[in-house]
Structure 1
Amino acid sequence: MLIISREKKPKGGGQSPQFKMRIDPALKEQLDAVAAEEGVSLASWLKELAREALRKKKIEPKG
């Protein structure tokens, strides 16, 4: 099961809104391991993965 939600307004001093996602614990464990191997947080790793996917579609990522 995958549930994704996004807050409409950022909380606090101009920070980005949170992006919440539910994933299977076994998948999260795998993702955590890969991110750790690359020396980044899971959030940073996922953001870069999303940017790469946009570039493949010839869309320049914002932010």
Structure 2
Amino acid sequence: MSIISREKKPKGGGQSPQFKMRIDPALKEQLDAVAAEEGVSLASWLKELAREALRQKGVTPKG
């Protein structure tokens, strides 16, 4: 995966909606480690992963 830049705050000063999910603690530990290696938060890393998956399916990500 390429280098991911830190997410900018949403325009308009509002907060983005939250998305909560449950994952195995061992999986979260792995995800945290990969995100840290790339110098970004886990949330930013997961958002970029989701955008990449959309692009692979021919969908242009919004936001």
TM-score (normalizing by structure 2): 0.78
- Unaligned residue ranges in structure 1 (runs of 5+): none
Cα distance in structure 1, aligned partners of 2:37 and 2:29: 12
Paired residue secondary structure (2:5)? strand
* Greater per-residue strand proportion: 1
Q: Size of the alignment, in residue pairs?
A: 63
TM-score (normalizing by structure 1): 0.78
With over 3 angstroms needed to count, the CA separation of the structure-2 counterparts of 1:21 and 1:8, relative to structure 1, is farther
Divergent runs of 4+, >4 A: 1-13
| Residue of structure 2 equivalent to 1:7 | 7
Cα distance in structure 2, aligned partners of 1:7 and 1:55: 18
How far 1:14 moved relative to its partner?
A: 2.4
Sequence identity, in percent?
92
How far 1:38 moved relative to its partner?
A: 0.3
Cα distance in structure 2, aligned partners of 1:8 and 1:55: 21
Q: CA RMSD in A?
A: 8.4
1:6-61 deviation line (CA, Å, top 9, x unaligned): 99999995211110011000000000000000000000000000000000001000
How far 1:3 moved relative to its partner?
A: 28
